């Protein structure tokens, strides 16, 4: 009997996390999360018509899926692939732990994205 020891997040390898396509997906997910957050702060709980309410529910479902993707992908990158020094990793750990997906977005924008861009420039 063959025993497979895989988790549901094993498809998030370093090559995939650092690929341009996945970077675009994380960009879009981060933009969706931030824009929905801003819109909800501005609108608070405005009464809406039926069809608009369905659109809002659809957008909020996409928001939750995007938050799960960004948060889990950044935790995986931090745990397995981040080569920063211990102090930087501890700082990002606290930011992601306290900031939830907003902390993961900050980690992506200010650490992962810059590191991937540096590696791309060095390789070209």
How confident is the model over 70-112, as pLDDT tens digits? Answer: 999 999 999 999 989 999 999 999 999 999 999 999 999 999 9
- Residue 3 resides in a domain: no
In a domain, 10, yes or no: no
Q: Is residue 57 part of a domain?
A: yes
Q: How many domains does the chain have?
A: 1
Asked whether the beta carbons of 95 and 103 are under 8 A apart, the reply is yes
- pTM, entire model: 0.82
Q: Which string of DSSP letters, residue by residue, matches 31-78?
A: HHHHHHHHHHHHHSS----HHHHHHHHHHHHHHHHHHHHHHHHHHHII
Provide the domain limits for residue 96. 21-123
Residue 54 in any domain: the answer is yes
pLDDT tens digits for 26-41? 999 999 999 999 988 8
Nearest Cα residue to 79 out of 22, 13, 30: 13
Q: In this structure, is residue 118 part of a structural domain?
A: yes
Instruction: Judge whether 6 lies within some domain.
Output: no
């Amino acid at each position: 009997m063959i025993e497979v020891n895989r988790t549901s997040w094993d498809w998030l390898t370093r090559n995939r996390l650092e690929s341009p396509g996945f970077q675009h997906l994380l960009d879009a997910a981060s933009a969706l999360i931030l824009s929905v957050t801003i819109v909800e702060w501005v609108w608070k709980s405005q009464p809406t018509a039926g069809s608009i309410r369905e659109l809002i529910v659809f957008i909020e479902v996409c928001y939750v899926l995007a938050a799960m993707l960004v948060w889990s992908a950044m935790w995986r990158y931090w745990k397995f692939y981040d080569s920063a020094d211990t102090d930087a990793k501890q700082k990002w750990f606290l930011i992601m732990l306290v900031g939830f997906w907003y902390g993961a977005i900050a980690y992506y924008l200010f650490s992962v994205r810059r590191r991937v861009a540096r590696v791309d420039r060095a390789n070209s």
